Chains A and B, each alone.
Chain A
């Protein structure tokens, strides 16, 4: 049965538990996937997932029924994820000092080898927090460095630097897999 999304949203506004559950069932896989990409491990992803979904239901009355509801929820999730990661300042405080202009790396052409999605997620999770944030925002959210810089309160140069370093780390891992397979 096809769900009437607007009707479900209105049910959620009325705090109807059935409507909330249906929204959860419809969108939780995508949103949980986002959490897994941004957080370091599954436990952290679960924490943020719960909190962000609660915010969705609490703020759902602010949804104007304009634009994509899924996009609206994703924004809440990404904001929550970024906020959570920014509170863990351990990893990236010192990363801001890198000069992006000197950190440009040459991207290598990678062979199209089959790597499972779970393995790719694992590679991303292994990145330092700030590299992971910048990589996700740039590659998956298609944000520009200026926007990322504003969001993370860093310079554009730092954003570029972090992206390059993230790519470099990921390249190394993928190449290692590639070499292993070739060998």
Chain B
């Protein structure tokens, strides 16, 4: 007898083929058009999310810029003759003899906090079902003929006082039967579960749930008896619950029966007046029956068909819901090409990056009477990224970033030099309530053009210089990314989020020389980020990326004007694992 290795034994099934059950084509045909709807839905959701983000950013900028305009007006403090005269009476006599007595204008930052945080909170929450009671009032309507049995049930539930929006779940259940399963029995059990908090509580929680369950009771039927069933759709009994259930049983010849159950459950949840957005989940699931079990349908006993098992407990419901969720998750990923799946294998990635940033402002902001100019700095950092699914990811990390600004041709006085030469003592600055020091180095006082002219007209020398201010932060961003393009090698993502920064360096440079830090600086800053990432795989699991983006700092300084926008261009490399 011929000897064989194990591979040889199984080589006979190398090209094994088996005719699939006939009902599978019907199911495939039915599902062929559904993904398009999903895609369309995803696009609309993406557009809506983008619009929302855009509106939030625009609104934030708008309100912020309005308040900054007010700030600019408040920044210029003019000390006219009259005011100074009254005040100068209390100053040492030496000041009365100086030209500064006539008119002194000192620009200082003086206003309320320029920034009011505008936050847009959005709560999206889908309510999970928990079982408390079973509503037996729902009775599905039945349509029977030789080919089709359809069960449709709808019920509505309108919550009078709810401010929450509808959270609906659509479930398609296909119940397949094997060959030779002449008859099927399925009991569609719809359960409306309402759970509410105590009447004394202002919070009201209402949960809608619909569950299909196969029932193993055996009922005998044949096609001839089905014709005696009613044709047409019967509406379900009026029920205030907002649950819509449609079940369709398709029967192909006499061999297989598919049960499609469309379930829409609406749950409304109003808790502490928060607004819940509409969250629609569509779940397709296929429930299989055991080939060996023979279940029969007795159409003469329609009541049995729609009866349900009262002994269904919470655990069973939770398990079924979990299965539906799992199936939903499985289906979301089913269309990934191999390249995308390879990318998805790498759930985590770590990236190193560095780049240039350009800080600037909008709205002709001024400080010390001069226009604020943009300033270019550098930034670098590390970030880690976690893929939630093939489209969405979250990332965080650390970044050393610099926010800066320049002000050109600023007149200033060095108390150790100019003012003393002009006869001004430190007492003047100390006693004048309108004088505020920008720099931690109190030898320097900056003035606007008006006071500068006065000083010059009196023959007193003054200095002009360029001020560069530089604030360095250790930032921790938190971003969410959406992949708009993903191929085997390249990907493009849109990122948005926020960051918190801790001040680690604060310096003012006057003509390139450090004169200390800014007194008005906040130690912690907050802001928002918007960027896009273009990455390309150069080696396995190694990708280069370039990341143009925009940062907005809400509160770099307490009262003074400062560049709040920052354009950046980062270059980096990330490693997937």
**In contact, B4 and A58 (Cβ under 8 angstroms):** no
**In contact, B17 and A33 (Cβ under 8 angstroms):** yes
**In contact, B345 and A153 (Cβ under 8 angstroms):** yes
A59: CB under 8 A from chain B? Answer: yes
Q: In the complex, how many angstroms separate the beta carbon of B33 from the nearest chain A beta carbon?
A: 9
B13: CB under 8 A from chain A? Answer: yes
Of B18-26, B99-107, B478-486, B498-506, the one with at least 4 CB within 8 A of chain A: B18-26
Q: Tell me which residues from 47 to 89 in chain A have a Cβ below 8 Å from any Cβ of chain B.
A: 47, 49-51, 53-55, 57-59, 62, 75, 79-80, 83-84, 87
B540: nearest residue on chain A (CB-CB)? A150
A140: CB under 8 A from chain B? Answer: yes
**In contact, A110 and B4 (Cβ under 8 angstroms):** yes
**In contact, B18 and A109 (Cβ under 8 angstroms):** no
In Å, the complex CA distance between A117 and B10 comes to: 8
In Å, the complex CA distance between A132 and B68 comes to: 67
B35: nearest residue on chain A (CB-CB)? A58
**In contact, A20 and B32 (Cβ under 8 angstroms):** yes
Question: Which chain A residues border B86 with CB–CB below 8 Å?
Answer: none
Of B133-141, B331-339, B556-564, B566-574, the one with at least 4 CB within 8 A of chain A: B331-339
Produce 1/0 per residue, B1-35, CB < 8 A to A.
11111111111111111111100110111011001
Of A3-11, A94-102, A167-175, the one with at least 4 CB within 8 A of chain B: A167-175
B341: CB under 8 A from chain A? Answer: yes
In Å, the complex CA distance between A134 and B1 comes to: 30
Number of interface residues of B (CB under 8 A): 43
Task: Contacts A47-B286, A111-B1, A153-B345 given; indicate if A58 touches B335 (C-beta within 8 A).
Answer: yes
**In contact, A46 and B7 (Cβ under 8 angstroms):** no
**In contact, A109 and B4 (Cβ under 8 angstroms):** yes
**In contact, A51 and B10 (Cβ under 8 angstroms):** no
Q: How large is the interface on A (under 10, 10 to 19, 20 to 34, 35 or more residues)?
A: 35 or more
**In contact, B13 and A120 (Cβ under 8 angstroms):** yes
In Å, the complex CA distance between A55 and B291 comes to: 27
**In contact, B29 and A17 (Cβ under 8 angstroms):** yes
B336: nearest residue on chain A (CB-CB)? A83
In Å, the complex CA distance between A176 and B12 comes to: 19
B419: CB under 8 A from chain A? Answer: no
Task: Contacts A49-B20, A50-B27, A58-B335 given; indicate if A110 touches B3 (C-beta within 8 A).
Answer: yes
Identify which of B1, B18, B25, B338 contacts A24 (C-beta below 8 A). Answer: B25
In Å, the complex CA distance between A37 and B11 comes to: 12
Produce 1/0 per residue, A130-145, CB < 8 A to B.
0000000001100000
**In contact, A87 and B330 (Cβ under 8 angstroms):** yes
B335: nearest residue on chain A (CB-CB)? A55
10 new A-B pairs (CB below 8 Å) besides A46-B20, A49-B24, A120-B9? A20-B32, A21-B25, A33-B18, A36-B18, A46-B21, A47-B286, A50-B27, A57-B28, A83-B334, A174-B6
Interface residues of B (CB under 8 A from A): 1-21, 24-25, 27-29, 31-32, 35, 176, 286, 288, 291, 330-331, 333-338, 341, 345
Q: List 7 A-B contacts (CB under 8 A).
A: A33-B17, A42-B291, A50-B27, A112-B1, A120-B10, A121-B16, A139-B11
